[in-house]
């Protein structure tokens, strides 16, 4: 009997008894004393109210007026849960180990026929990152960067952070107000407001060396941060409209700092506004390549003259090469 299945059966066994002992659990489920103790501790951790009794015989009892909640899933709910697990496998998600144990517990709650359906679905449905030669539903082994869960734990307490980043074999520290944590192009990214340089900053989680709350005495208020970002947001010098084909290309690849706003409920048209630093040649050269990648399904509303000249030059070269 699998551990998860055994624990679920033990929970129902003891819920129907006013009193039980470790010896009874050992005998009933043919397990060792240490295994029985571990199972009881896990059951307590799940929230089942047990009271230990002192004495020669000892034992446990379930607190009065407590009822083990019944968890029931429909067939479609079970399929939805495990399809979500399959679809997000190999995406370096946080709390992956907890997801693994959750999958085990859910499997222990369902019938053999329902388990057979999931195995069949797992062999039919293939998502990005799925290994068709390994149909194990519980194969959630693609662990994220070790700092991701630590970052999330700190964020639950405070969004003002002191972030240490490894850059060119050096550790640099940035005081940051985190605006969002997102996954893009197969890696996790931090978008925040640099409290010293007063600007938006993007930092890959893979480069994190440490993260901790930023001292309160030197913080900028959230209101001032919003004002700073609002003023910076007005400095757009590249504005383009995207049609459905360009949106599809945008989803395949885009520079980290670029986002689009859909302009209709069907998400078939969108507008992009961003700032291109024309003094950074690498930046606007990359922008030219990216605009060409989007294809012809775009309408340029505003563009720096340096980028426009470079774009025209690239188009002329491509036309000559096509002759």
Interval 25-39: pLDDT, tens: 888 888 998 898 888
Contacts of 29 (CB under 8 A, 6+ apart): 1, 6, 9, 10, 36
The sign of the dihedral angle between the CA atoms of 256, 257, 258, 260 is positive
Domain identity same for 159 and 221: yes
Residue 44 CA to residue 23 CA, distance in Å, equals 18
Domain identity same for 205 and 255: no
Domain tally, the chain: 4
Highest mean pLDDT: which of 53-57, 199-203, 290-294?
Answer: 290-294
pLDDT band at 7; cut points 50, 70, 90: confident
In 197-269, at which residue ranges do the beta strands (DSSP E only) sit? 199-204, 208-213, 238-242, 260-262
Q: Does 231 score more than 80 pLDDT?
A: no
CATH number at residue 169: 2.30.30.520
Q: Which of 162, 195, 230 is the last residue of a domain?
A: 230
Domain identity same for 244 and 314: yes
Contacts of 185 (CB under 8 A, 6+ apart): 253, 256
Domain identity same for 139 and 151: no
Domain identity same for 316 and 244: yes
Q: Which of 121, 143, 165 is the last residue of a domain?
A: 143
Q: What is the mean pLDDT of residues 168-178?
A: 88
Q: Which of 86, 115, 143 is the last residue of a domain?
A: 143
Q: Does 63 score more than 80 pLDDT?
A: no
CATH number at residue 15: 1.10.10.10
- The per-residue pLDDT for 133 is 61
pTM of the model: 0.52
pLDDT band at 237; cut points 50, 70, 90: confident
CATH number at residue 290: 3.30.70
Domain identity same for 87 and 51: no
Domain identity same for 150 and 201: yes
- The per-residue pLDDT for 163 is 92
Domain that holds residue 54: 3-62
Each residue's pLDDT tens digit, 115-168: 888 888 877 887 766 655 655 655 655 677 888 989 999 998 899 999 999 877
Domain identity same for 54 and 83: no
């Amino acid at each position: 009997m699998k551990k998860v299945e055994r624990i679920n059966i033990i929970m129902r066994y003891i819920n129907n008894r006013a009193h039980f002992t470790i010896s009874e659990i050992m005998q009933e489920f043919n397990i060792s004393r240490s295994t029985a103790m571990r199972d009881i501790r896990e059951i307590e951790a799940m929230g089942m109210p047990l009271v230990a009794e002192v004495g020669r015989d000892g034992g446990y009892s379930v607190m009065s007026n407590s009822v083990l909640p019944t968890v029931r899933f429909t067939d479609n709910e079970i399929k939805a849960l495990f399809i979500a697990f399959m679809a997000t496998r190999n995406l370096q998600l946080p709390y992956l180990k907890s997801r693994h144990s959750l999958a085990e517990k859910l499997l222990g709650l369902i019938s053999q026929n329902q388990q057979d359906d999931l195995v069949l679905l797992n062999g039919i449905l293939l998502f990005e990152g799925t290994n068709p030669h390994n149909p194990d539903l519980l194969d959630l082994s693609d662990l994220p960067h070790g700092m991701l869960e630590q970052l999330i734990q700190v964020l639950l307490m405070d969004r003002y952070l002191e972030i240490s980043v490894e850059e060119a074999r050096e550790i640099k520290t940035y005081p940051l107000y985190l605006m969002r944590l997102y996954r893009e192009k197969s890696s996790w990214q931090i978008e925040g407001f640099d409290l010293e340089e007063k600007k938006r900053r993007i930092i890959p989680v893979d480069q994190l060396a440490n993260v901790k709350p930023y001292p309160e005495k030197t913080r900028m208020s959230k209101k001032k941060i919003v004002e700073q970002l609002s003023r910076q947001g007005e400095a757009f010098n590249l504005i383009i409209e995207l049609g459905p084909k360009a949106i599809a290309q945008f989803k395949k690849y885009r520079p980290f700092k670029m986002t689009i706003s859909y302009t209709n409920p069907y998400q078939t048209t969108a507008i992009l506004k961003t700032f291109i630093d024309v003094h950074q040649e690498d930046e606007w050269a990359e922008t030219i390549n990216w605009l060409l990648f989007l294809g012809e399904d775009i309408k340029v509303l505003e563009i720096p003259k340096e980028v426009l000249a470079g774009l025209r030059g690239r188009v002329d070269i491509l036309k000559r090469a096509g002759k």
